[in-house]
Amino acid sequence: MLDIKLIREQADFVRKRLATRGGGEESKIDEILEIDTRWRQILTEVEGLKSQRNKVSKEIGALMGQKKLEEAEAKKKETREIGDRISDLDKEVADLETRSRALMMTLPNLPHESVTIGATEADNPTLREWGEKKNFTFEPESHVALCERLKLIDFARGAKLSGSGFLLYTNWGARLERALTQFLLDLHTSEHGYTEVSPPFMVSKACMEGVGQFPKFVDQAYAIQEGEDGSSLGNLFLIPTAEAPVANIHREELLAEAELPINYCAYSPCFRAEAGAAGVGTRGMIRVHQFDKVELIKVVPPEQGYDALETLVGHAEKVLQLLDLHYRVILLCTGDMGFGSAKTYDIEVWAPGQGDYLEVSSCSNCEDFQSRRMGLRFKTKDGKKVLPHLLNGSGTALARLFVALVETHQQKDGSILIPEPLQAYMKTDRIPAH
RNA sequence: GGAGAGAUGGCUGAGUGGUCGAAAGCACCGGUUUGCUAAACCGACGUAGCCCUCAAAGGCUACCGCGGGUUCGAAUCCCGCUCUCUCCGCCA
């Protein structure tokens, strides 16, 4: 959520920054300002009336004490009338607040000034590359062929169980998935200083709103219903990312400055309905309804936000470097950024079987956009209450990492070499060809 | 799922219709004392919003889990909900 004060005081600035996203949200500013003006007007009026009522009520109390009952009754009548007027105005105030909040919740974050202005992913600048596309002395197989031939994934039975977009990992495939998860958690906790947490995989609507998933992306979420009757529908949602629970850990809290920075790292499966995306890249593991991910979350004082973002991307990059996978880091342009983000780096890993780069990590600084939504603050040494910057980054998404790994490290003999850091977890240095 | 108890400021905890934004203690902050630290003592100390102001100061309103209700007036009475704890049932 944006700061209403910023909108009041610098409406043009806000409109301009919003416009760079190309979503047309800047058109809502006028209505927000209109509601806000009216709200303040009525609020002032009703507060004046309440002040009056409070005063008279005290007088009544005093009169009752002195047994001047008739005078007290007269004043009661007067106050009752004020009370009616107050409740009318209170209703209008509440109504205006509801309308304002509904609009405010649909405004995306303002892009940071350092973000390239652009419309689509074609405008995303590539910042750097690491490694290079691997040369093969043979025609590399796609992960689908590899997984089927080596029985790493049973696509058909996965679909039988849950429909298309669900994976059944088998044998070495299941083990590789587990090895990757452990490797990632160990790397981020032992080497990068994150605190491991293991969150619920279902969260409340409030959490989804807090990180900006809702209201905009309700259609993308799986809603939980207990039993057959629908009364519980919408109380809980399967998490689309561990960001949803983990970023909300300190919602509605007032942290001490000394507690910052907070660095959390969490494994979770991620559930995405991908409504409307059916038929798009459905073959294989690249776009699925459920995948594993290790997520990194940082809560930092605002002045450290952008340094922390650089650190965060570095931590995600380290994963790919250790696994010897070629990747590039791109900066999402204003038009391609996520709803809550002020600045986002994507990391795309090279998948030779696809002949394409796959997004395996998205690292964002949401600044105070989420903190404001969820009521997360910290207290500085001199007693000021400040909204911290909230950062999140994948470190990294697993299904696509899996794809890049098997496609990159496949051998001419049909086996797959396991990079050194994974060998201890896999208890082997290669997945055999047979 | 059933029964009971509870939810008050950063924390602990008093408060059962008006003088309560709320005792007390702790923590935090400022000061005195001190070779340093600690202790002791003194002082300040909730949050949010609106109005006013260049700003500060100030004024007002709301907030005692959340939402309604009764009343001139609610932390306090009534109703609904959520969460926590204890016990029972079911259960990995």
Tens digit of each residue's pLDDT (9 = 90 or more) over A116-131: 999 999 999 999 999 9
In chain A, positions 45-64 with C-beta closer than 7 Å to nucleic chain B are 47-48, 50-51, 53-58, 60-61, 64
Region A61-90: mean pLDDT is 82
In the predicted model, what is the mean pLDDT of residues A170-180? 96
Q: Is the minimum distance from the CB of A38 to strand B below 7 Å?
A: no
Q: Where in chain A is the domain with CATH 3.30.930.10?
A: 121-431
Q: Is the CB of A233 under 7 A from strand B?
A: no
Q: E strands of A125-194, at which residues?
A: 126-130
pLDDT of residue A429: 95
Query: Which segments of chain A belong to CATH 1.10.287.40?
Result: 4-105
Task: List strand B contacts in A 412-431 (CB < 7 A).
Answer: none
* Model confidence at A226: pLDDT above 80: no
Q: What is the distance in angstroms measured between the alpha-carbon CA of A163 and the sugar C1' of B3?
A: 44
Q: Are A202 and A235 in contact (CB under 8 A)?
A: no
Please give the single-letter amino acid code of residue A295: E
Q: Does the pLDDT value for residue A384 go beyond 80?
A: no
| Contact positions of strand B to protein Cβ (< 7 A) | 10, 18, 28-29, 47-51, 60-62, 68, 71-73
A43 touches strand B (CB under 7 A): yes
In order, the DSSP letters of A75-108 are HHHHHHHHHHHHHHHHHHHHHHHHHHHHHHHTPP
C1' of B11 to CA of A416 (Å):
57
Does residue A207 lie within 7 Å of nucleic acid chain B, judged by its CB?
Answer: no
Is the domain spanning A4-105 CATH 1.10.287.40? The answer is: yes
Does A291 have pLDDT greater than 90? yes
Q: Assign A416 to helix, strand or coil.
A: strand
* A166 touches A379 (CB < 8 A): no
Whether A321 CB is under 7 Å from strand B:
no
DSSP state of A249: T
Q: A371 CA, B62 C1': separation in Å?
A: 23
List pLDDT tens digits, range A306-315.
999 999 999 9
Rounded distance, CA A104 to CA A108, Å?
9
Question: What pLDDT score was predicted for residue A353?
Answer: 92
The CA–C1' separation of A17 and B32, in angstroms, is 53
Kindly determine whether the C-beta of residue A204 is less than 7 Å away from any atom of nucleic acid strand B.
no
Least confident of A29-33, A128-132, A194-198, A250-254: A250-254
CATH T-level assignment (fold) for domain A121-431: BirA Bifunctional Protein; domain 2 (3.30.930)
Lowest-confidence pick of A67-76, A116-125, A193-202, A289-298: A67-76
Q: Could you report the per-residue pLDDT of A141-164, keeping only the tens digit for each?
A: 999 999 999 999 999 999 999 988
Query: Any idea which of A32-36, A225-229, A232-236 has the lowest mean pLDDT?
Result: A225-229
- Looking at the predicted structure, is the pLDDT value of residue A138 above 90? yes
Whether the ω angle into residue A261 lies within 30 degrees of 0, i.e. cis, is: yes
Residue A200 CB closer than 7 angstroms to strand B?
no
Which ipTM score applies to this complex?
A: 0.84
Mean pLDDT of chain A: 91
Helix (H) and strand (E) counts in chain A = 13, 16
Residue A67: pLDDT band with limits 50, 70, 90: confident
Segment A186-201, tens digit of pLDDT: 999 999 999 999 999 9
Which pLDDT does position A276 carry in this prediction? 60
Q: Which nucleotide is nearest to A62 (CA to C1')?
A: B18
